[in-house]
Amino acid sequence: MANALSLDSVVLSQDAKELVILDQTLLPNEVKFLRLSKAEDIWEAIYSLRVRGAPAIGVAAAYGVYLLSAQEDTGDMEQFCERFKAHKSYLDTARPTAVNLSWALNRMEKVLEAEKGSLSVPQMKQRLLSEAHAIREEDIAISRSIGRLGFELLKPGDGILTHCNAGSLATAKYGTALAPVYIALEEGWNDLRVYCDETRPLLQGARLSAFEMQTAGVDTTLLCDNMASLAMRRGKIDIIFVGCDRVAANGDFANKIGTSGVAILAKHYGIPFYVCAPTSTIDMSIPHGDDIVIEERKPEEVTEMWYAKRMAPEGVKVFNPAFDVTDHDLVTGIITEKGIAYPPFDVSFKKLGIQ
């Protein structure tokens, strides 16, 4: 099986006509790349978690809005801008919680608005392409920087707990929460232990994080979400790294459902709990986590998905939020590419230049 770090989760084809994504819904049993060029296919890939992880979604959105706009057959800039904005609005509806989706689309639109008066339509298409490439390359650099800062918090032999998947598969490369482990491997450390929460109901920990860590040669242990407390009680966990999809100005953050429970347990057992967050996921426009929109998904993900037969009574009501919000007072620190923010987070964010 290929090392996950060698798999590109989201790229543009060499002829710049297709979005190429690793279909993460098939992992770990099948490694398959999808080639997408239609609006509804790109939207579906984001919604259905074929491409997932906040940074990877942002890269996919940037390439996606470029591709759809590049297909427009018009030389009129005003008309081109109208079509761009229609494509942007459509893609932006795929996932409401991950801020990187709208962040990347807005960044692409800013380029359009800033330079539409000085470029022809063909030139604008090339400019949008270069901006999308820049978003991907910056994501790789950001992930590596977060990994380096997180690595400095580790000791040889540490046991690391992670929830969901915030590794290389969730970004352009390296990841966020798993990036410190990849940096440790580069430094020659081979005695870290990684514990992966299963992460019900979509099993990103079981299917993706465990796949990443095992194929990278890391001592990997999979556990059901409700086993984390006992693992902490028995001293197996020294530090916790998680990713995030949106951070509020006060340090509250949204991440995959179950993260807040892990943070509460970590507080009880006195285990450092770090959030790995590119600055693009920090939304200073919202003061606290109650303002974060939480996506709710289909009940079948809980009652039927992954099972040969339905595993819940027909007609039972299902509560299936994709994310929860963790209070800032449960967070030891937030690792960004610019440095580690410590409480009070609103002050730390400003010191790091995050506005």
In order along its 355 residues, the chain shows pLDDT tens digits of 678 888 999 999 999 999 999 999 999 999 999 999 999 999 999 999 999 988 999 999 999 999 999 999 999 999 999 999 999 999 999 987 778 899 999 999 999 999 999 999 999 999 999 999 999 999 999 999 999 999 999 999 999 999 999 999 999 999 999 999 999 999 999 999 999 999 999 999 999 999 999 999 999 999 999 999 999 999 999 999 999 999 999 999 999 999 999 999 999 999 999 999 999 999 999 999 999 999 999 999 999 999 999 999 999 999 999 999 999 999 999 999 999 999 999 999 999 999 8
- Report domain extents, the chain: 4-143, 153-351
Query: Tell me, what's the pLDDT at 96?
Result: 79
Residue found by looking up tokens 């609103």 in the block: 346
CATH class of the domain comprising 4-143: mainly alpha
Name the architecture of domain 153-351. Answer: 3-Layer(aba) Sandwich (3.40)
User: What pLDDT does residue 235 have?
Assistant: 98
pLDDT of residue 1: 63
Tell me the three state secondary structure of residue 12: strand
pTM of the full structure: 0.92
Q: Of these residues, 139, 245, 283, 324, which one is catalytic?
A: 245
Task: Say how many residues make up the chain.
Answer: 355
Task: State yes or no: is 73 an active-site residue.
Answer: no
So what's the pLDDT on residue 90?
Answer: 97
Say how far apart CA 243 and CA 330 lie, in whole Å.
15
